[in-house]
Structure 1
C-alpha cells in the first residue's frame, strides 16, 4: 500500500514535468489523458437496517483509455479503454458458509466484538467516457469534465473476519454479482481531478438475504483521479 500511495503522489509531478519539457513541434492531431490512476473512498449505499461501515474502505484503479477526438479543435472526444481496480469495504455484515454449500448473512451487534470484518474484490473494467476539456496542442494544464459509464467484471473476491467467533476467510463467494456497471464523473484542472463512481446494480445477487430480505446494496466511490498523456 505504501508503494501505491508513493506512485499516486508522484503522478502530479510527472505530469508537470511533461509540460516543462514541451517540444517546439506542435502536434495538431494530439490526444489527451490516455492513462489514468486513481484512489477512492468506498461507501455502501442502500444498506440494510443496522449495517454500518467502520474503518477506512479504500479503492485503487488504473488503466488505459484511448482518446478519440470528435471535433476539429480536439477538445471534445470519446474515450474507450480497459483498466484494473481493487476495492475493500470494512463493515459489520458477517458472511459465513452454511452446511448446504450456500452462505448466511447477519449483522454483527455490539456484543459481537471483532477486529476485522471486510470484503474486497478485484475487477477488470471497461470505461466509456464523453470528454470535454479546454486543452490546445500546446497547453498541458487545462480544465476537464469527463462523464460516462464503467462496466466491470469481478474476477476475484475475498471475505475476511477476525473476532470472538474465530477467523473466517472465504474466497470467491458466489453471491457477489460478477458484473458491475455504473456512472462516472471526473472534474478538475491539470493533474488533480475529483472522481465519482456510482454503481447502478447491486453488489450481491438475489441469493444474498438477511431473514429473507434481499441485500440490495450498491456502491459509491469518491476520490481523486490522475490523468497523464
Structure 2
C-alpha cells in the first residue's frame, strides 16, 4: 500500500469524523442521544511469537477496518454502556515466510535472500463482530469528549490468501490458504479524545492452524495491531 493511498485513507477518516461532529451538534438537547455508532480505522500489524530468529517482517503489514456498532447506554447520564456491532476487516501480514501449495499440501519455508523475494504475505478479508464496554465524558451538547472502549472482537474470514512475488523470475504465487484459521478473536481497546483515538487489538489465537509447520515447528504467531480509529454518530 503506497504512501499516497495511506494519506488518502487518513483524509477520508478525518472527513468522516467532521461529519460526525456536525451530526452531534444538530442533536441539540436530545436526552436520548447516542454516540460513536460508525467507526473506521487503520493500523499496523505486528507479528508476535515468530517461529525463529530468522523470521522477520517485511513491507507494511496493515489493517483497515470499518463498520457499525450499536450504542446501548445503560445509565441515566448515558456515558456508560455497551456496544454491539458488525464490520469489515482486511489484513496483510508481510514476512519472509513463503507458502507453496503442491498437490493440495501447503509447505512453508524461509527466504533468507531479499534478492529473490519481492514480497510474501498472508492476506485476509473478514466480517467482524465487535463487543465493547464503553465509558466516555459526553453529553447531548458536547461532541468533544474522552472515551475508553474495551472489549473483544471475533472475525469470520471469508477470504484467506497466501501471496508471494519474486524479483528474479516471472513467477507469482497466490492461492487460498486453508491453514489460516477461519475464525479469529482477540481483545480490543480504543481510547482517546475528540477526533484522534488509539486502536489496539491483540489476537488470543495464532493466525495459522497447528498443522502449519516451518522446519517441523508450528507457526504460532499472533497479530498485535496498533493504529487509529475514528468515530461518527
Q: Tell me the TM-score normalised to structure 1 length.
A: 0.92
Within the candidate set 109, 116, 119, 2:119 is matched to: 116
Runs of 4+ in 1 over 6 A off after TM superposition: none
- 2:56 maps to 52
Within the candidate set 43, 46, 51, 2:46 is matched to: 43
The answer on 1:103 being equivalent to 2:72 is: no
Equivalent-residue separation in structure 2 for 1:189 and 1:210 (angstroms): 43
Distance 1:3 1:46, change over 3 A: closer
1:206, distance to aligned residue in structure 2 (A): 1.5
- 2:231 maps to 227
Where does 1:160-175 land on structure 2 (aligned, <5 Å)? 160-163=163-166, 164=168, 167-175=171-179
- 2:151 maps to 148
Deviations 1:64-111 (A, max 9, x none): 000000100000010000000111111100101133x11001111137
Equivalent pairs counted in the alignment come to: 228
Provide the aligned C-alpha RMSD in A.
2.0
2:164 and 2:172 in contact (8 A); partners too:
yes
Q: What secondary structure, in the 3-state scheme, does the structure 2 residue paired with 1:12 have?
A: helix
Within the candidate set 197, 218, 225, 1:193 is matched to: 197
Which runs of no fewer than 5 residues in structure 1 stay unpaired? none
Equivalent-residue separation in structure 2 for 1:118 and 1:168 (angstroms): 12
Equivalent-residue separation in structure 2 for 1:24 and 1:173 (angstroms): 47
Q: What secondary structure, in the 3-state scheme, does the structure 1 residue paired with 2:171 have?
A: strand
Which runs of no fewer than 5 residues in structure 2 stay unpaired? none
Distance 1:26 1:203, change over 3 A: same
1:17, distance to aligned residue in structure 2 (A): 5.3
Q: Tell me the TM-score normalised to structure 2 length.
A: 0.91
